[in-house]
Structure 1
Amino acid sequence: MGRLRRRIAELMRVAYYSPMAPSRSGIADYSALLLPALREHVDVVVAEQGRRAPAADVALYHIGNDPDAHGWIVDALEKRPGVVVLHEYVLHHLIAGITIGRGNGRGYLDAMERELGVAGRLLGLGVLDNLLPLLWETQPERFPLSGVVLDRARGLIVHSAYVGERAREAGYTGRIWPIPHPAWPMPEIETATDVAGDPLIGCFGFLNMNKRIPQLLEAFAAFRRSRPGARLLLAGAAGERFDVGRRLERLGLTEGVERLDYVPEERMWALMAACDVLVNLRYPTMGETSGSVIRAMSLGKPLIVSDVGAFSELPDDAVLKVPVDEHEVPVLEAALGFAAEHGVVLGAAARGH
């Protein structure tokens, strides 16, 4: 078997399309983790934006929802179908960026029509004529627009059953390979000493409404009434229309919350190691598997997630799951307290998974 694998590696060449460092992309971090392991099995050549497509036996395309990071990869996929690693099921922002963002309104209408027929085209016209709000900002989960990518995929690699099921529901009939998201090997970490709290609660990644930051802030404000020494660390760039500072002022949290912008990989590990509890909420979900969740579990930290999508597939004994309903804020407040009190047990279960 070992000889056969070596022979396959000698024969097969893979063109690898992905954002790469120094791109501020979670998928760039993912590729930095995956590539060394992949190269042990096949010959890999990394495609570069703006350069000629490399000659290869198969092309592997990593697709996420950011048009700046993935637009050029979709362009390459349209020219040469291949295997797609679908990191997120909802791709509305991506498709809008490579159609409307490039002055190609007709391309956006075609994508909407493929999704919903004539009704989709009419909705798209409403967006183009400024009669409707931008759907990729207000209701992306209702109109995923992933069909543009699925139509060109010769096979799909997914990191959750949720994404695979959504692809089948959308009519995809090709091969689907469910493969667990890789876990980072534990680096040598010097725990950050410039952040502290009793307890210190951390939330990492791009901050927007989908990350349930308003609900987290409300729950933390209530939690802090009984634990005045608690602090919340929010680390990550914020969406353009998401004013974190104003929300902190309204809730009286300016002294209880520390805001950091984008942090590089090494710094992120150090900050996460300093936290007593980590929170990664999501709704609506775009079908993503969170790298921050994988890191938190690798560190053996108690973790709180939303009970939706791929997050629901995590073991019940390894994470605390908060339902997204009218009780979300009080349940989240209780989860913060439980995680702070039982961190050792929860963290050990997370690391074991």
Structure 2
Amino acid sequence: MPLDRLTAFTPLPPERNGIADYAAMLLGALARHYDCEAACEDWLADAPPGIAVVDPALAHRAIAGGDGRVLHQLGNNPGHGFVLEALRRVPGVTTLHDPGLLHLRQTAGATRDTLLAGLRDAPPAFARYARGVAAEDRWSRADHLLFDMAGEVLARSRAVVVHSRFARNRLRALHGEAATAHVEVIPHLLPPFAAPPREEARARLGVPPDAFLVCTAGFATSAKRFDWLIEALEAVPAAHWVHAGAERPEEFPLSAAIAERPALRGRARVAGYLSEAALTDHVAAADALVNLRFPSAGESSGSLARGFAAGVCCVVSDTGAYAELPRDAVLRVPLAGAAPALAEALAALAAEPARARAIGEAGRRFASTEMALPAVALRYRALIEASRGRPVASRPAAPAKPVALALALGPGLTAAAVARALGGVEGPCRLLLAAPDLVSLADLSLERPGLLDGLLPPWAALRAIRVLDGPCAGLLLDVDAGQRGARAA
């Protein structure tokens, strides 16, 4: 019996995005229950075996009657702009990895008026402040915690998944019981990998067997409180530290902050973005995985799940979603006096390695029960099926669609012909340069270097390009046809 189709709008590896990794793992498990396809902007993305990657701009056409099975993976960074656009077209179940979404909307090019419109329903306690910030374009770090832009997601989703009761309660406090009745807590999944033995991982990394190694992972953001960790490590001379992830200097200049502390010289380093295998080795080699968070808006942590899977002692802030974890499965650090409390905790773990191993094993047992991938996939399947008939809010009014044009791409296509086709267009335009197949397209590209530069008129700016295969092979161009004044010049 054929399986029902499930379309997931999501980023996928190799995008450097923890949600992309999450989505790939979840899709691999959901493939036991559905005929899955992934709608992803990167047409060369690494989907799990047997799962096709399709163009998100076209995928919605195959979803029958607007009542197909759809899953959106939505996070708060630029790589999820196309997912938000897909949710506006096609309702479905949405995993809301971060309730705020302000950074996503800003980096996706939302205008000031758009941001203001999204804040109309802000809670009265800070509605006036929120609108003032948006109107004057004076954003600060605190605004990403204070602002809530999830109302559209709640309205357009048949169901919403969050990973903690904290995140659900935050949404309920801001939007009310009625608007959040369809929000369900499904724990973050446990990565389905076998962590190498600690000794093997250390041997590959060149870490001495008797060293006390602290690991942090993921993007280095200010909310992960590296300032607290750096202060704590100065007081624990036995500890070595590696950050297994990329820096975001505009948020927290991690390397510079380490360099300013002579006491950390030679025992702290930033590894940068790592391959899957290298990241696994770094986590498995650690005695403690530190995952602090303040302020917290209820966001989830893939690196914490990885630490659980490896059986490493996880040290977390006693706040937000982390406060829901069993007390024997993690080591919690209070927010008040966090740096000295963290120093005391790390010194105790370094002096008593057996305690660190016991906490790590308790964390592994907890996660293998609550966060196991097959169980998480079954909960998603139940929610997808149960929510199919739930009504959603009407799709918000969209700006006028860009003009769509098509021309045959071949040796005879000239710049004058393209200019004539674009002559009546003002503003955004989608232009398909159709080819018989990809082989013909490749041959033409070799014969005519700088093909698009030679074809597009100077007043037509190329914004995006996509290579299409199949019955509609060719180049799909997103073009801004500019202004008449610019053309006349």
Structure number with greater Rg is 2
> Fold match, TM over 0.5?
yes
- Aligned with residue 218 of structure 1, among 231, 239, 260: 231
**Offset of residue 63 of structure 1:** 0.9
Q: C-alpha displacement at 1:118, in angstroms?
A: 11
Provide closer, same or farther for how the CA distance between residues 173 and 32 of structure 1 changes in structure 2, counting only shifts above 3 A: closer
Question: Which one is further off, 74-83 or 192-201?
Answer: 192-201
Q: Which of 20, 24, 28 pairs up with 2:20?
A: 28
Q: What is the RMSD computed on CA atoms of the aligned residues?
A: 2.1
Contact 2:130 2:147 survives alignment (8 Å): no
Tell me the alpha carbon deviations over residues 273-303 of structure 1, each in whole angstroms, 9 at most, x when there is no partner: 1111110001111312211111111111111
TM-score by length of 2: 0.64
Kept in 2: contact 1:306–1:322 (CA 8 A): yes
Secondary structure of the corresponding residue to residue 122 of structure 2: helix
C-alpha separation between the residues in 2 aligned to 1:87 and 1:53? 23
1:281 to 283, 288, 292: 292
Residues 1:163 and 2:167 are matched in the alignment:
yes
Structure 2: gaps of 5 or more residues: 42-55, 367-489
The answer to whether 1:142 aligns with 2:146 is: yes
295-304 vs 142-151, which deviates more? 142-151
Tell me the residue number matched to 2:59.
53
Q: Deviations over 1:122-142 (max 9, x none)?
A: 644544534x3x14x333111
2:317–2:334 Cα contact (<8 Å) kept: yes
Whether the 8 Å contact between 1:204 and 1:234 is mirrored in structure 2 is yes
Q: Which amino acid aligns with 1:282?
A: R
Kindly state the Cα deviation for residue 116 of structure 1 after the two structures are TM-superposed: 4.1
What are the residue-to-residue correspondences of 1:1-353 with 2, within 5 Å?
Answer: 10=3, 12-49=4-41, 51-54=57-60, 55-56=62-63, 57-66=68-77, 68-98=78-108, 101-102=109-110, 104-116=111-123, 120=127, 123-130=130-137, 132=138, 134-135=139-140, 137-169=141-173, 170-171=175-176, 172-187=179-194, 189=196, 191-192=201-202, 193-196=204-207, 198-224=211-237, 227=238, 230-241=239-250, 242-252=252-262, 253-325=264-336, 327-340=337-350, 341=352, 342-353=355-366
Structure 1 residues 126 and 304, CA, compared in 2 at 3 Å: closer, same or farther? Answer: closer
Compute the displacement of 1:40 (Å).
0.6
Give, as a single letter, the amino acid of the residue that structure 2 aligns with 1:273.
A
Distance 1:173 1:276, change over 3 A: closer
Relative to structure 1, the CA distance from residue 118 to residue 321 in structure 2 (aligned partners, 3 Å threshold; closer, same or farther) is closer
Alpha-carbon distance between aligned partners in 2 of 1:93 and 1:234, rounded to the nearest angstrom? 24
- Once residues 85 and 208 of structure 1 are traced to their aligned partners in structure 2, the CA distance between those partners, rounded to angstroms, is 22
Poorly superposed stretches of 4+, deviation over 3 Å: 116-130
Taking only the aligned residue pairs, the percentage that are identical comes to 33
Q: 2-side partners of 1:188 and 1:117: how far apart?
A: 48
Partner of 2:445: none
TM-score by length of 1: 0.88
Gaps of 5+ in 1: 1-6
Change (3 A) 1:240 1:249: closer
Contact (CA 8 Å) 2:188, 2:300: kept in 1 or not? yes
